[in-house]
Amino acid sequence: MTRALGWLAALALVIGLGAAFGYAPREAVQGNVQRIMYLHVPAVLTAYLAFALVFAGSLGYLFTRRLGWDRLAVAAAEPGVLFTGLTIVSGSIWGKPTWGTWWTWDARLTSTAVLFLVYVGYLLLRGMVDEPDRRARYAAVVGILGAANIPIVHFSVKWWRALHQPSTILGPEPSPIAAPIALTLLVNWIAFTLLFLYFLARRAEIARLEESHAG
Amino acid sequence: MPDNWGYVFAAYGLAVIALGAYWRRLARRAKSLAGPGGSE
Amino acid sequence: MSAYLRRAWIVVWKDVLTERRSKESLNALLFFSVLLLFIFQFALGPERARVETALPGLLWLGFILAGVLGLGRSFLVEQENDCWEGLVLTPGDKSAIYLGKLAGNVLVMAVVEAALLVLFPVFFGLDLTGALPRLVVVLALGTLGLAAVGTLFGAITAQVRARELLFPVLLLPAQVPVLLGAVSATEIVLAGQPLAEAAQWLKLLAAADVVYLVVGLLTFEFVLEGA
């Protein structure tokens, strides 16, 4: 089952890669560097899915006290951090030729970076507690607060940017989006979601094995 | 605007390395856990 | 309800009494705030204009750093004095303990903030008296948010390894909205503008306070369970 999912994800990624480089046209304004978007946008969408699952797993654990929910939370958090990291790095690489700098305190870049730090903290906390039950409780509390915080972080950073630098910088997507570009984004988004689900399944299985070994 | 293929390949290359590294880490952990008397 | 509030009040009273007898945390925390002033001065150099432009950020940097130290200790004290079991075994709604601890922490933060607000004008030759009433509103909203998360995370990290390190690592990213909102609002207030100019930020701070408080009250019982 998991193995089939893995092959499906690999296939989708190959198709996505082919579409990103072969099918999608060279973007008129930004040139070929815009192709980084086919990595950047699916990565950030997948990361949000991951953190939504961390939230669901955290709530589920506190309500039911079943460790299965906690396994869902950790199995989503790890790839979530990975995909957030990819989002930041690919955004930064895209920013260098486009904005002329590796890093600007752009609203989206900044709030993604904050998200990254929050969930790295979540994983660090998990690493510091050994008993599965206690680890699950603490992590769930941090996971819930982290998720509740996402909209607050989003608005605070957005307003903060609007205050200090009126919109001189354009957002990452060119608008309006042409059909081939939208289709390529969609394919890559599906591919990333499949890959994430594959990681999720494997990581949850590892957590289950660890628990059965420990007790 | 120039094409900047270098940046594009750098971004995709890093993504492949990061995802591949995580995949290998998962595979290793699963293997070490399933090791003695593992079923797979 | 009144029993609930009384339980919260007992926690506050207990902490105030302990603190008054031992003077363990507050003295050191106040001393730390004075040290911060020196460090800010050395980092920025003698120019007054520099200090004035950086003032809102410096103030909140001071509050947050003092908060990281002070809030991190609030449950550690229970651990050190072997009172953790007592808290865990307390009958009834555990969120009353959270409320009490939070109130105590807000109190400690208020003392530190008052000290910094007296010392800043003295050391840097500024005049804050005109902006003070409006500044208090911003401080209250910001401090509540900081303390609400700090109290919750402090209770968690008091029971894990590498707690001194983990507490700021968890708290600081979560406090980005409070820091941004509080610094921006302070900037507006110190520029002599009325509170209405900062309404957007005050609303954000208030919303953040409500969210943190609700999460704290609802999840605290899971933190204070077993050992």
CB contact A114 to C (< 8 Å): yes
Chains A+B touching (3+ CB pairs under 8 Å): yes
Instruction: State which of A169-173, C70-74, C173-177 shows the largest mean pLDDT.
Output: C173-177
Query: How many other C-beta atoms are found inside a 10 Å radius of the C-beta of residue C81?
Result: 11
Residue A87: strand, helix, or coil: helix
Note whether A209 contacts B: Cβ–Cβ < 8 A: yes
**What does the pLDDT average to over A48-57?**
96
Tell me the Ramachandran region of residue B2: left when phi exceeds 0, alpha when psi lies from -120 to 50, beta otherwise: beta
**Is A156 an 8 Å CB contact of chain C?**
yes
For A192, which residue in chain B has the nearest alpha carbon?
A: B19
Residues forming a β-bridge with A27: A31
A9 CB-near residues (< 8 Å, 6+ apart): A191, A194, A195, A197, A198
Tokens 């005109």, residue?
C130
A39/B15 touch (CB, cutoff 8 Å), yes or no: yes
Considering only CB atoms, B18 lies closest to which of A86, A205, A209, namely A86
- Does C169 contact A145 at a Cβ distance shorter than 8 Å? no
The Cα of B37 is separated from the nearest Cα of chain A by a number of Å equal to 12
Q: Give A-chain residues touching B23 at CB under 8 angstroms.
A: 199
Token readout for C68 is 């990281």
Q: Give this prediction's pTM.
A: 0.90
Model ipTM value = 0.90
**From CA C224, how far away is CA C203, in angstroms rounded?**
31
CB C51 within 8 A of CB C58: yes
> Is A54 part of the contact surface with chain C (CB cutoff 8 Å)?
no
The neighbour count for residue A148, using CB atoms within 10 Å, is 16
CB contact under 8 A, B29 and A206: yes
Q: Is the pLDDT of residue A172 over 70?
A: no
Whether the bond between C121 and the residue before it is cis, its omega within 30 degrees of 0, is no
Q: Crossing angle, helix C48-73 and helix C132-157, to 10 degrees?
A: 40
C107 in Cβ contact with C70 (< 8 Å): no
Q: H-type helices in chain B, by residue range?
A: 5-34
Q: What is the pLDDT of residue A163?
A: 65
- Does A170 score more than 50 pLDDT? no
Residue pLDDT, tens place only, C54-87: 899 999 999 999 999 989 888 888 877 778 888 8
| Residue B36: pLDDT over 70 | no
Cβ distance A202 to B30 less than 8 Å, yes or no, reads yes
Q: Is there an interface between C and A (3+ Cβ pairs < 8 A)?
A: yes
Confidence of residue B21 (pLDDT cuts 50, 70, 90): very high
Residue C220 CB coordination number (10 Å): 24
Could you report the per-residue pLDDT of A72-86, keeping only the tens digit for each? Answer: 999 999 999 999 999
**Inter-chain CB proximity A148 and C211 less than 8 Å:** yes
Q: Report the alpha-carbon distance of residue A42 to residue A83 in Å, rounded.
A: 9
Distance (Å, whole) CA A44 – CA A49: 9
CA distance linking residue A76 with residue C175, whole number of Å: 23
What part of A 4-33 touches C (C-beta under 8 Å)? none
Under the banding of pLDDT at 50, 70 and 90, the label for residue A11 is: very high
- Triad A169, A173, A176: Cα angle to 5°: 110
Mean pLDDT along residues A128-154: 93
Closest alpha carbon within chain C to A65: C222
Report phi then psi at A27, rounded to 5: -70, 135
Q: Which candidate, A205, A196, A197, A198, places its Cα nearest to that of A68?
A: A205
CB-side neighbour CA atoms (13 Å) of A194: 21
Which of the four pLDDT bands, split at 50, 70 and 90, describes residue A168? very low
Contact A32 B34 (CB under 8 A): no
pLDDT at residue A26 in the model: 81
Find chain C residues with C-beta within 8 A of A163's C-beta: 184
Q: Averaged over A96-103, what is the pLDDT?
A: 85
Angstrom distance (rounded) from CA A70 to CA C197: 44
Give residue C64's Cα distance to chain centre: 7
How many structural domains is chain C composed of?
A: 1
Residue A165 has pLDDT above 60, yes or no: no
For residue C188, give its domain range.
2-223
Q: Do residues C99 and C151 touch, judged by C-beta distance below 8 A?
A: no
The conformation of residue C166, written as its DSSP 8-state character, comes to H
In this structure, are residues B37 and A210 in contact, taking their beta carbons and an 8 Å threshold? no
Segment B1-12, tens digit of pLDDT: 567 888 889 999
pLDDT tens for each residue of C129-172: 888 889 999 999 999 999 999 999 999 998 898 888 999 999 99
The helix (run of H) or strand (run of E) holding residue A26 is none
Tell me, what amino acid is at A206? I
Q: Sorting pLDDT into bands at 50, 70 and 90, what band is A143?
A: very high
Cα(A199)–Cα(C141) distance, rounded to whole angstroms? Answer: 41
Residues on chain B bordering chain A, Cβ-to-Cβ distance under 8 angstroms: 1-5, 7-8, 10-12, 14-15, 18-19, 22-23, 26-27, 29-30, 33-34
**Which residues in chain C touch residue A159, judged by CB atoms under 8 angstroms apart?**
180, 184, 200-201, 204
Task: State both tokens at B3.
Answer: 């094409």
Contact C216, C152 (CB under 8 A): yes
Size of interface A-B (CB pairs under 8 A): 71
Q: Which of B3, B5, B7, B23 to mutate to test the interface with A (most CBs of A within 10 A)?
A: B7
3-class DSSP state of C74:
coil
Angstrom CA distances, C103 to B38, C113, C209, stand at 53, 15, 14
Contact C212 A145 (CB under 8 A): yes
pLDDT at res. A167: 42
Nearest to A197 by CA among A112, A75, A103, A114: A75
Q: Mean pLDDT of all residues in chain C?
A: 89
Lowest mean pLDDT among A81-90, A162-171, B9-18: A162-171
Minimal-distance CA residue of chain C relative to A162:
C184
Question: Are A210 and B18 within 8 A, CB to CB?
Answer: no
- Collapsing DSSP to helix, strand or coil, A27 comes out as strand
Q: Which of C95, C152, C160, C210 to mutate to test the interface with A (most CBs of A within 10 A)?
A: C160
Whether residues C166 and A128 touch (CB distance < 8 A) is answered with yes
User: Which residues of B are less than 8 Å from A203 in CB distance?
Assistant: 26
C201 touches C215 (CB < 8 A)? no
Residue A30 is predicted with a pLDDT of: 77
Model confidence at A106: pLDDT above 70: yes
